[in-house]
Amino acid sequence: MKLGEMVGMAAADAWAARARSLVSVVGIALGVGVLVVIVALGLGVRGAVLDEVVQRMPLDTIEVVPKSVNLGLIKLGGGSLLGGRVIDDGTVTSLGAIADVVAVYPKLEVKLPLGARGGESLLGKSLYADLFVNGLPEELVRTEVGVAFADNTDYLPVVISSQLLELYNSSVASTLGTPQLTPQTLIGIEFDVWVGRSLILGQQGARTTGRERARVVGVSRHAVKLGASLPMATARRLLAKYGEGGAATYGSVILKARSAADVPAITRAVRDQGLDVDQTAQQAADLMSGATGIASLVGLLVLVLAALNIAHSFVAMLAERRRELGILRAVGASRGDLLGVVLLQASFLGAAGGVFGVLAGWIVCAIADASAAVLLPDFPFKPKSFFALPWWLALAALLAAVLAACLGAAWPAIRTARLRVTDALAD
C-alpha cells in the first residue's frame, strides 16, 4: 500500500469516527494548553528575575565573594571558621595572578555612616535617606557611563543602580506623589552627603563628621543595589578623610576570564584560595527551573490521560472494523500497512490537538498578561509580560502531542498488525 493511500485511509477513518476523534483532540489540546501556559510562565518569570533582579554577568565573568554560611533565610560570613579570608589588596593581587584572568575589578567597601539629602529641584521636596556606598574601578562602568565617572575634587561623582531606579519608579514615586525618573533625568542631579549622620549607624565607623556635595553622573548595573557607587579613587579619598583607618577591604571582586571555557578552572582556583563564587543567578535559575518542571507534570499528566483515552477509542474502533481489516489483509495489505494506517490516524489527532492546544495556551497567556496589566498595581521589577513563548516551546508541545497520541495508539496498532485473516473473516 502506498503512502498516499495510507494517509487517505487514515484521514477517512478519523472522519468516520469523528465523535471519538473530537474527544481525543480535545483531551490532547487540554494537556498541551496546560503545558504551554505553565512552561511559558516559568520561562517568563525566570527571565524577569535573572535579567531584572539578579542581572547575570557575561559568561566569561565571575564575581568572587568571601565564604559564607548559608542558613536558608540568613547568610553569615564564615571567616576563618570555614578556612575563608577577607578580600584585601593582597587577595586582589593573588586573584589577578590566576591563570587566564585578564582583568580584575574589586568593589571597595566604604564603611562609613552616610546620609543623603536633596531632590528639591526635581521632586519638589527635600528627601533624606541613609546611603550605602562602595567604590568601583572606573573602567568597570565606563561603557555605561563614560568618562564622567572619574575622581573629582569639586564633588562626589556617583552612579545609581538601575534596580534602585526601578524600585523608586514602581513604589516610592507613587507613594510620595513625585514624578518617575529616567536615567537621563537623573544625570546632573546634585545632593548633599552627610558623613557620620546615619539614622541606622549613627556616627559608628566615622572619625569625624562632615558634608560633601554629590552629583549623579549615570546609572549602572554594577552599582551597589540599594545605594550609590563612587569611583575607586573618590571612595579611598572619602575613607582617608573621614574613616577610622585600617586596611581597605572589598565586598567582592569581579574577574574577567580570557574566555567562557576558562571559568571552571578559575572558579576552582578561587576556592583553593579560601574564597567563593557568587552563584545567586545560577541558584535562582535552578530553583525556578525545578519549580517549572514540577508544575509541568500537570500538563504531562493530562497528556497521559489523553493518550489512555486514545488507546481506549482505538481499541473500540478497531474492534468494530475487525472484518473490514481482515478483508484488507486478504486483498494484499501487509501488517506494516495496517500498523502505519493506525499510527498515521493517531498522528493526525495528536497534531490537531497540539495545534489547538498551542493556540489556546497562547491566548490564555495573552489574556493573563492583559489582565495583570490592568488589575495588578505596579511593583518593583514588574515585567512587561509574565510569559515567554519562544518558538521552540510551540514545536516541543506539538511534538509531545503527536508522541502522546502515537503511544496511546501503539498497543491497538500492534494488535491490528497481528490480526490473522482467518480470524477476522470468521467473525
Same-domain status, 292 and 158: no
Same-domain status, 316 and 266: no
Residue 76 belongs to a domain? no
Residue 330 belongs to a domain? yes
At residue 393, the pLDDT reads 86
At residue 232, the pLDDT reads 94
Same-domain status, 256 and 111: yes
Q: Which of 273, 297, 331 is the last residue of a domain?
A: 273
**pLDDT tens, residue order, the chain (427 aa):** 565 665 666 666 666 667 777 878 888 888 888 888 888 887 777 766 666 555 556 668 888 888 765 444 344 554 544 455 788 889 999 999 999 999 999 999 888 889 888 877 666 677 788 888 999 999 998 888 888 999 998 999 999 887 778 777 777 777 767 777 888 888 888 889 998 888 777 777 788 889 999 999 998 888 887 788 999 999 999 999 998 877 778 989 999 999 888 888 898 899 888 888 876 655 555 666 666 777 667 767 777 777 777 777 766 666 666 556 655 655 556 666 767 777 788 888 888 888 998 999 999 999 998 888 888 766 655 677 888 888 888 898 899 888 888 888 777 767 766 666 555 445 5
At residue 158, the pLDDT reads 93
At residue 74, the pLDDT reads 44
The residue to which cell 579570608 is assigned:
85
* Helices vs strands, H then E, count in the chain: 15, 13
Same-domain status, 152 and 248: yes
DSSP 285-332: HHHHHHHHHHHHHHHHHHHHHHHHHHHHHHHHHHHHTHHHHHHHHHTT
Residue 67 belongs to a domain? no
Q: Which of 211, 239, 273 is the last residue of a domain?
A: 273
Rounded to whole angstroms, the Cα distance separating 310 from 27 reads: 9
Residue 409 belongs to a domain? yes
Residue 155 belongs to a domain? yes
Same-domain status, 217 and 289: no
Backbone φ and ψ of 275, nearest 5°: -120, 180
Same-domain status, 259 and 381: no
Tell me the residue range of the domain where 308 lies.
3-54+284-426
CA distances from 305 to 32, 294, 298 (A): 12, 17, 11
- Give the three-class secondary structure for 193: strand
Half-sphere exposure of 38 (CA within 13 A, CB side): 21
How many other CB atoms sit within 10 Å of the CB of residue 97?
10
Same-domain status, 370 and 321: yes
Rounded to whole angstroms, the Cα distance separating 427 from 405 reads: 29
Same-domain status, 310 and 269: no
Half-sphere exposure of 232 (CA within 13 A, CB side): 16
Residue 64 belongs to a domain? no
Same-domain status, 166 and 311: no
Cell numbers that stand for 379 in this block: 511593583
The answer to whether the Cα torsion of 80, 81, 82, 83 is positive or negative is: positive
CB 346 within 8 A of CB 405: yes
Same-domain status, 190 and 42: no
At residue 405, the pLDDT reads 82
Same-domain status, 304 and 373: yes
The strand pair at 101-109 and 156-161 is best described as: unpaired
Q: Which of 273, 301, 328 is the last residue of a domain?
A: 273
Same-domain status, 290 and 320: yes
Question: Into how many domains does the chain fold?
Answer: 2
